[in-house]
Structure 1
Amino acid sequence: MSTTLRKSLRILESLALSDTPRGISELSREIKLNKSAVQRIFQTLLEEGYIEKTADTSRYKPTLRIWELGSRVIAQNEVRRLIHPILRYAAKSSELTTYFAWADYPDIIYLDKIDGEKGRPNSSDPGQRIPMHAAASGRAILAFFDEAQIEGVLADLVNGAGDGASAVELRDELRLTRQRLFACSQRGAAARISSIAAPVWGQGALPVGSVVLTSDSVTLPQSDFDRVGAVAISIAEQATRVLGGSYPATASDAP
């Protein structure tokens, strides 16, 4: 990849992921690039309409051009198109907020979301990327990955790059997830959220994602996890079928 292109992408990503407009000097320090190089890239992005200067400041922010491109990409995504009706039915019948999380090891990306009547509307939105180990949505997938990939995530935890959960706890939870075919969490990415996730297979040996049912811990208490887990598995089976995969009857049947 061109060095200039790589720098431009780093700058655009930093601007897009920032909660506030950024200045050239602070961004050059953050991503450790020469200020003059950053300034040239800013000028090109400005001229092409990807960023704009905020009024009365020397700071910049992305324009809707990025959203326009992203919305076209997601609209053309075949997986989302096939699974969206299943999520819509699941959210209506369960009254819980329903997600589809896409596997992008060692992370997951929330690809789609349907709010349920009793779901938690302020939970994660499509487009958010988080580490697999950080939520039930990712652990439902990771549990069926090979040992080397699991060890890679465990190593990150040991090195302090994870969310503070111990490697031993994670390994035990992944083992339990394989046995019952769903993962659960009472914390997720935010406090007081209960989530149940079941893996979804495509035509390959590893899960391609997971379906997630979530709400606050009052609506979805721990005493309901087994019941809702069975619902999540049923939804995941439907999603697997539309993606051309085969769902395991038990953990030992997993590809």
Structure 2
Amino acid sequence: MEQKSTLREINVNRYITPLREGGSMPAIIEGDDDFLYVLKFRGAGQGTKALIAELIGGEIARKLGFKVPELVFAHLDRAFGRTEPDEEIQDLLRFSEGLNLALHYLSGSITYDPVVNDIDQLTASKVVWLDSYLMNMDRTAKNTNMLIWHKELWLIDHGASLYFHHSWHNWKEQAQKPFKLIKDHVLLKKATQIEEADKELSHLIDDTFLDNLVDMIPESWLNDSPFDSVTDHKAAYKQYLKERRDYSSEVIVKEVQNAG
């Protein structure tokens, strides 16, 4: 039985077009609510772990006050794989039957450009804090994963976060380790108020919020598990997220200051 969640659930009504960016090849789809979404496929290269990272990263970002497109669980029927003429996409659809994750499509948005779009230092510091906390390696000048929509900053694509969970090797130690790749963050030079950001953000992701968030992970996304049970698997995510928060002033703040 799937875990009950606070996310809306939709059915994919129409596959519109692939977004050939990166290896996961998400797609624009239409839901049965008539809205457009960017669908992240469980059958893509990183599998359901990327969907878990997207769910956790996106909802933590939202909790911290950032604008993030609405996340929904999206059911993909097996019929889509049979009607798609492109063999690569056909395989992706076939391997993604069932429950996937989708983000509301921000029609007309433009990619954040650090040369053109200005962000104040505190906001930049908060984004850097978030990505250091999540160990998100995918917010660089080459691929900012930030959009400007209606003159406001929106954060997208957190699927490369929590990279420790691809092996779960030394995961307990990872919670207390600095994130070395923060040195490549597109906003690092502007993150001059990281201490202020830490004080403002760390208390917002309390234990209850993190417990409820991890409990939203569908059980079908945890089928490739090194743990004895789904409960143990989710407990590991909860422990990691809580410990990394508790060590934020020692791990996140110092690493950002050193990298800058």
Normalising by the smaller structure, the TM-score range is: under 0.3
Q: More helix per residue: 1 or 2?
A: 1
Which has the bigger relative contact order, CA under 8 A and spacing at least 6?
A: 2
TM-score (norm 1): 0.27
TM-score (norm 2): 0.27
